[in-house]
């Protein structure tokens, strides 16, 4: 997770970022990029990429998935969870809507 930086560009093998305060640029080595942004439904990046789907393979892109607020606006916790879950499950088999964790169910004793 990288905070207080804006994305300048994403390329195969890395991301060029800029500090939101100073503008200082920094290259980050990365196999993938998961962007977590504000609470407005805006899937423009996904739509722009979808139009160019025929270029994906030549640029090292295997898939693009809409998550978080781009899919449906919600509290920041939901968007953060969606981004974190996507990053954890990246390159893993798709588990669909199954929960990726165990839920503990407690029962109160009668009496």
**What pLDDT digit, counting tens, does each position of 37-95 carry?**
666 778 888 899 999 999 999 988 888 888 888 888 888 788 788 888 888 888 888 77
pLDDT at 27: 94
| pTM metric for this prediction | 0.49
Cα→Cα distances 94→9, 46, 98, Å: 28, 20, 9
Is residue 100 over pLDDT 90?
A: no
Q: What is the pLDDT of residue 52?
A: 93
Whether the pLDDT of residue 98 is over 80: the answer is: no
Task: Give me the long-range contacts of 104-107 (CB less than 8 A, separation at least 24).
Answer: none
Can you give the pLDDT at residue 39? 66
**CA nearest neighbour of 69 among 80, 56, 61:** 80
Q: Is the pLDDT of residue 97 over 70?
A: yes
Question: Distance between CA 47 and CA 51 in Å, rounded?
Answer: 6
Q: What is the DSSP letter of 107?
A: -
């Amino acid at each position: 997770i990288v905070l207080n930086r804006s994305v300048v560009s994403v390329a195969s093998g890395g991301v060029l970022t800029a500090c939101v305060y100073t503008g200082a640029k920094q290259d980050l080595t990365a196999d993938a990029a998961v962007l977590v942004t504000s609470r407005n439904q805006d899937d423009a990046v996904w739509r722009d990429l979808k139009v160019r789907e025929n270029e994906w393979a030549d640029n090292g892109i295997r898939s693009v998935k809409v998550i978080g607020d781009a899919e449906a606006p919600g509290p920041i916790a939901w968007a953060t969870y969606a981004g974190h879950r996507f990053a954890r499950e990246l390159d893993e088999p798709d588990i669909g809507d199954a929960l990726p964790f165990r839920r503990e169910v407690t029962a109160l004793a009668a009496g």
